[in-house]
């Protein structure tokens, strides 16, 4: 039994009021639907709390379910033939996990902290999407945004300086949240792995960004953004080009 299906089998149907609130405010794909479409998702969806470190999706798995991330942060990573892990990215609230086709996943999805997801059987989700083109459009937009993000990271790893890479990580960690206070979802070692840097270099660049007044770090696990505009400029983002 696959990781997503295990979660689906163990979870309970969600309350209609919770589904309505999520679809209207969580920024998920479901938010594109009208009342009829949200009702269909409500009938097929299951909420599940995922503990820190639990695998939601295995690399190489052909999952029979897809999921919206409602809260928390999920790590996407791949393991090489000799057992080394490479972190590929993170998915936060509003993100989507899983494939809508029957191909195996190229990565694993693991909860970095307590995560809540909403699971849908893949076949039922695809059938519903065929009757609601707005869902297909939302999936395409998300896929294109993910592709843009991957291309930016390739450029950053290939040409970006150390401070540009760390600034890009901070911007990515903040996502679209309106809050200025954020938890580091990755350890310094994991940040270094994702950015192609050493742990020492990541720590030095965080110190430089802090000294410049762009962030505050009340603790090792928390950062507060003081100047997002400058941070995004260092990360190489152009105004209006941030994917949603």
Q: Are residues 124 and 178 in the same domain?
A: no
pLDDT at 233 over 60: yes
Q: CA-CA distances (angstroms) from residue 99 to 8, 41, 96, 182?
A: 16, 17, 9, 29
* Residue 242 is assigned to a structural domain of this protein: no
pLDDT digits (tens, 9 = 90+) for 17-27: 566 666 545 56
* Residue 155 is assigned to a structural domain of this protein: no
Mean pLDDT of the region 106-122: 93
Domain of 85? Answer: 3-133
- The reported pLDDT for the residue numbered 160 is 93
* Residue 244 is assigned to a structural domain of this protein: no
pLDDT at 242 over 50: no
- The reported pLDDT for the residue numbered 21 is 62
Q: Are residues 24 and 105 in the same domain?
A: yes
Q: Are residues 15 and 106 in the same domain?
A: yes
Q: Are residues 128 and 20 in the same domain?
A: yes
Q: Are residues 12 and 122 in the same domain?
A: yes
Contacts of 33 (CB under 8 A, 6+ apart): 23, 41, 132, 134, 135
Q: Are residues 166 and 213 in the same domain?
A: yes
pLDDT at 241 over 50: no
* Residue 239 is assigned to a structural domain of this protein: no
pLDDT digits (tens, 9 = 90+) for 28-76: 777 777 778 778 888 888 899 999 999 999 999 998 899 999 888 999 9
User: Which CATH number belongs to the domain containing residue 40 in this structure?
Assistant: 2.60.120.10
- The reported pLDDT for the residue numbered 128 is 87
* Residue 139 is assigned to a structural domain of this protein: no
What's the structural domain count of the chain? 2
Q: Are residues 107 and 218 in the same domain?
A: no
User: Which CATH number belongs to the domain containing residue 189 in this structure?
Assistant: 1.10.10.10
* Residue 224 is assigned to a structural domain of this protein: yes
- The reported pLDDT for the residue numbered 57 is 93
CA distance 77 to 91: 11
* Residue 34 is assigned to a structural domain of this protein: yes
* Residue 64 is assigned to a structural domain of this protein: yes
CA distance 238 to 9: 44
- The reported pLDDT for the residue numbered 175 is 78
Q: Are residues 129 and 166 in the same domain?
A: no
CA distance 189 to 201: 10
Q: Are residues 125 and 201 in the same domain?
A: no
pLDDT at 143 over 50: yes
Q: Are residues 121 and 226 in the same domain?
A: no
pLDDT band at 149 (very low <50, low <70, confident <90, very high): confident
pLDDT at 11 over 60: yes
Q: Are residues 192 and 122 in the same domain?
A: no
Closest CA to 97 of 79, 73, 113: 73
């Amino acid at each position: 039994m696959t990781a997503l299906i295990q979660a689906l089998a163990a979870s309970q149907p969600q309350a209609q009021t919770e589904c309505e609130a999520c679809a209207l405010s969580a920024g998920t794909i479901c938010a594109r639907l009208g009342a009829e479409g949200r009702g269909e998702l409500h009938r097929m969806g299951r909420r599940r709390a995922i503990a820190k470190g639990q695998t939601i999706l295995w690399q190489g798995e052909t999952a029979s379910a897809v999921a919206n991330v409602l809260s928390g942060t999920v790590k996407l990573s791949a393991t090489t033939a000799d057992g080394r892990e490479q972190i590929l990215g993170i998915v936060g609230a509003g993100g989507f996990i899983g494939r809508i086709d029957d191909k195996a996943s190229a990565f694993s999805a693991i909860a970095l902290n307590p995560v809540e997801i909403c699971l849908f059987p893949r076949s039922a989700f695809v059938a519903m999407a065929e009757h609601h083109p707005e869902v297909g459009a939302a999936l395409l937009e998300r896929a294109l945004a993910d592709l843009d993000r991957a291309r930016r990271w390739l450029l950053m790893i290939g040409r970006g300086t150390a401070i540009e890479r760390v600034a890009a990580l901070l911007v990515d960690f903040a996502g679209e949240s309106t809050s200025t206070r954020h938890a580091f979802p990755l350890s310094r070692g994991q940040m270094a792995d994702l950015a192609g840097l050493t742990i020492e270099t990541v720590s030095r660049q965080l110190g430089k960004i802090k000294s410049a007044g762009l962030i505050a770090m009340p603790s090792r696990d928390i950062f507060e953004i003081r100047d997002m505009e400058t941070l995004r400029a260092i990360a190489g983002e152009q105004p209006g080009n941030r994917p949603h």
